[in-house]
Chains A and B, each alone.
Chain A
Amino acid sequence: MSAVGTVVSSVLLLGGAALCLLGALGLLRFPDVLSRLQAATKPQTLGLLLILLGTMMRLDFEDAATLMLVALFQVITAPVISQLVGRSAYRAGVLRRDVLVVDHLGSRLSENGTDSTDGADGAGPPPQR
């Protein structure tokens, strides 16, 4: 491997790890589940992709192909995870209302009252356990 290749791959690995760290910081600092979910999906995905890219550069094609699959899988599943967890959080009412400056879904639910997504508009205190 060329010297340039080593440098580029090192930069990708370091940058990816830094992004993962900042994403974890977001997980700690953000106020509620939905915002933490953003920290858990966006910077983490980007960080993992950079690390996988840096790793692929140092491998032969066969191993790189498998890592490519992992990378692709991460990009496809991250949105699915945010939708699943986000919807669960909203329905269970675990999110903090004071974080939202606009809530069209909540206002729609309180309009017709009887919605299949019951519990979502009962903005009670988050469950303690």
Chain B
Amino acid sequence: MTTVFTITLTLLCVAGVLTLVRLLRGPSTLDRIVAVDVFIILIVAGAAVYVAVYRDGANITLLAAVALLGFVGTATAARLAERREGHR
């Protein structure tokens, strides 16, 4: 299981780096919002892998909270970005 843990987390970390590149490059605000949304999904996935490997359910509520807040954050940010573009 340790091997699985190492490989899985490595894959997720590489995915995180690629997502960060998009976050830095943009070019638009909406690109960055999408990148942040993906990054949150990756964090939730990483936390789930930890829970699976160590069979430690203590983080599950935290994981659920991050997943819920991630959606609210992305939705709000998208609306704000639209409003800002609309004022140009």
Contacts and interface: CB of A to CB of B under 8 A. Distances in A.
Is the A/B pair a real complex?
Answer: yes
Given A36-B31, A59-B55, A23 B71 contact: no
A14 B49 CA distance: 10
B33 A73 contact: no
Nearest to A13: B8
B8 A127 contact: no
A94 B30 CA distance: 8
Interface in A86-129: 87-89, 91-94, 119, 126-129
Secondary structure type dominating chain A contacts: helix
Contacts, number: 167
Most chain B CB atoms below 10 A, which of A40, A66, A119, A128:
A40
User: Dominant SS at the B interface?
Assistant: helix
Interface string B28-49: 1111011101100110110011
> Range of interface residues on chain A?
35 or more
The 10 closest A-B pairs by CB, nearest first: A92-B85, A88-B82, A24-B15, A17-B11, A55-B52, A63-B57, A24-B18, A21-B15, A17-B8, A77-B71
Interface of A: 6, 9-10, 13-14, 16-18, 20-21, 23-25, 27-28, 33, 36-37, 40, 44-45, 47-48, 51-52, 54-55, 58-60, 62-63, 66-67, 69-70, 73-74, 77, 80-81, 84-85, 87-89, 91-94, 119, 126-129
